Structure 1
């Protein structure tokens, strides 16, 4: 029997994608945001494809704010943008 691969929706393109193909953004219980490379940090998570286009769409539609029900500091977007650029260069 094949192992089931979990799917998550990208907040940018709104497509269902395998969880391991996405970047997870986490909001911990103390309100701090982090980019979760391992996918194992505790807290509320949201997912974005590994493309800068998807990040731009998510920022434009305020999808992260809606997902976390809170305004998101610009530093989080800057960190996400940097990590996406690093991934795309590989």
Structure 2
């Protein structure tokens, strides 16, 4: 049997390629707001972020999401994203790939 292809996505913050399941999707909605999309299926323009909390902090300083989505991003969204990424990383370390 032929091995299945693993979908890869480019990390917005570091530019590295990672498996899609090891990333979180951020989506820009029609009303120019950003949301974290855990399902990866919301409609809108999306970008992927790896589960690396230190990169999220660096992105907040450099305003990476503002330049990627061409909108003003509130500091509270960066805090929410950091908390989500940190939590997901901890879950993966505790429970493995199934979390």
TM-score by length of 1: 0.85
Offset at residue 30 of structure 1 (A): 1.3
Structure 1 or 2: more helix by fraction:
2
- In the TM superposition, what are the counterparts of 1:31-50 in structure 2 within 5 Å? 31-50=32-51
* Structure 1 spans left out of the alignment, 5+ residues: none
Aligned-residue CA RMSD in angstroms?
A: 1.6
Which whole-Å CA distance do the structure 2 matches of 1:46 and 1:68 have between them? Answer: 9
Report how many residues are paired. 90
Who is 1:26 aligned against?
Answer: 27
Structure 2 runs not aligned, ≥5 long: 92-99
Q: Secondary structure at the match of 1:81?
A: helix
Change (3 A) 1:3 1:88: closer
Which position in structure 2 is the counterpart of 1:81? 82
Deviation at 1:39, TM superposition (A): 0.3
Of 44-53 and 6-15, more deviation after overlay is shown by: 6-15
Q: Answer with 34-43 or 24-33: which moved more.
A: 24-33
SS at match of 1:65: helix
Contact 1:13 / 1:57 at 8 angstroms: preserved in 2? no
Q: Which has the higher relative contact order, 1 or 2, with Cα contacts under 8 A spaced 6 or more apart? A: 1
